[in-house]
Amino acid sequence: MIPRLLLATNNFGKLAEYDVLLEGCGWELVTPRDLGIDLEVDETGETYEANATMKARRGAQASGLVTLADDSGIEIEAMGGEPGLRSARFLGEHASYLERFAEIQRRLAKVPRERRRARFRCAIAVADPRTGAVRCAEGEVFGLIAGAPRGEGGFGYDPIFWVPQHSATMAELPEYQKNIISHRARAAAGARQILKELLYEHEREQGARS
């Protein structure tokens, strides 16, 4: 029987990426919506890892399943690292990304291209309800803030994150390419190893019981 892994998000963009990033990992992916549970968590941590850990623990406690959660953000050097941990709430939870893009462009209006450095960061936490243990993996990618939003792919801040080595924003990259270089892809590579180890432990326990 394939063990189930709870992805502690209902964000369709993230779920679509994880479907690809975790393909063939040996776990059946399920969502809070699938299980009919509410996983709203106040992200009060001071790091991405702390926020991801809180969400993963909450999911594991509510579902009894191994749970994967992440927290991510964009850090813009000329804005002192903002929006950072507040990326999903920048200008308020109900602000549109177009409004957020416009405010970022306003703040960077006099900043030359070479000083528009930014990075995407992602922390993934995997919580095991059997032991209470949480293991984490992180990833990041560096780029620049584009002069205007470009591209229809991805989600969140992807349209304004310019990847110099590909001469494109993250939203302009083909899905397969984004899923190689993105901050979430790099964190997911570490998470796959964690899941592989947990799967081995799960199978060993199952074998001991039979």
Query: Exactly one of 70, 71, 128, 158 is catalytic; which is it?
Result: 71
Element (H, E) at 131: none
CA angle 194, 199, 201 (to 5 degrees): 100
Question: Rounded CA gap, 33 and 190, in Å?
Answer: 26
Question: Which one, of 152, 154, 148, lies nearest residue 177 by Cα?
Answer: 154
Question: Rounded CA gap, 177 and 204, in Å?
Answer: 36
> Residue 119 CB: number of other CB atoms within 10 A?
16
Q: Is 71 a catalytic residue?
A: yes
State the DSSP string of 37-86.
---------SSHHHHHHHHHHHHHHHHSSEEEEEEEEEEEGGGTT-BGGG
Q: Which token pair is 200?
A: 């081995």
Q: Which residues are catalytic?
A: 71
